[in-house]
Amino acid sequence: MRTKLLTALTAVVAATAVAAPAHAQLISEPGPQIDAGACKVRSSHDEGQRFTYADCEVTVNGVPAGQSVKVRYKSNLKTFKPHAEFGPWDSTTGTITAGNQGAPAGTTDDIVVGLQLAFPGKSVAQVKKDLTVTLSSATPGATVTDATATPSR
């Protein structure tokens, strides 16, 4: 009887020791990583209205299949939505969504989302000098690893 109890106890301890590393590995896997990229600043030559604008990229790495990651953004410069032949134009503050809806189950994707911000009454030089776009308040489980987008110089 004592031998059977000792054998059963040994089997339980061995199973727990084998299962623990697999469980620890699942917990240590990072969630999606969000990086603010550089902004390219340009001047519009639209016939109806001239203005300065920035195209900023936000990269979300490791978005699981069938899921979306959201993150808030805020420009330190006031924006507007021009009536131009191109766009769409983003507001001074808002939410970016990176969805991975069509990917095969069990996979992850890296997704690049663009922001297009227009600035009234600013020159290209002013926007290049002053613009900062800040990311915050990401979806739980996601990490903002680089929260600031600035113009490439």
CB 34 within 8 A of CB 145: yes
CATH number of the domain residue 134 falls in: 2.60.40
Tokens 């953004």 belong to 73
Interval 62-92: pLDDT, tens: 999 999 999 999 999 999 998 877 888 999 9
Residue 135: domain span: 31-149
Q: pTM for the whole thing?
A: 0.76
- Same domain for 48 and 63, yes or no, is yes
- Same domain for 136 and 108, yes or no, is yes
- Domains held by the chain: number: 2
- Same domain for 51 and 20, yes or no, is no
- Same domain for 59 and 88, yes or no, is yes
Interval 35-51: pLDDT, tens: 999 999 999 876 667 88
Question: According to the 3-state scheme, what is the secondary structure of 4-35?
Answer: HHHHHHHHHHHHHHHHHHHHHHHHHCCCCEEE
- Same domain for 96 and 111, yes or no, is yes
- Same domain for 75 and 18, yes or no, is no
pLDDT beyond 60 at 23: no
- Same domain for 49 and 118, yes or no, is yes
Percentage of the residues of the chain whose pLDDT score is greater than 70? 78
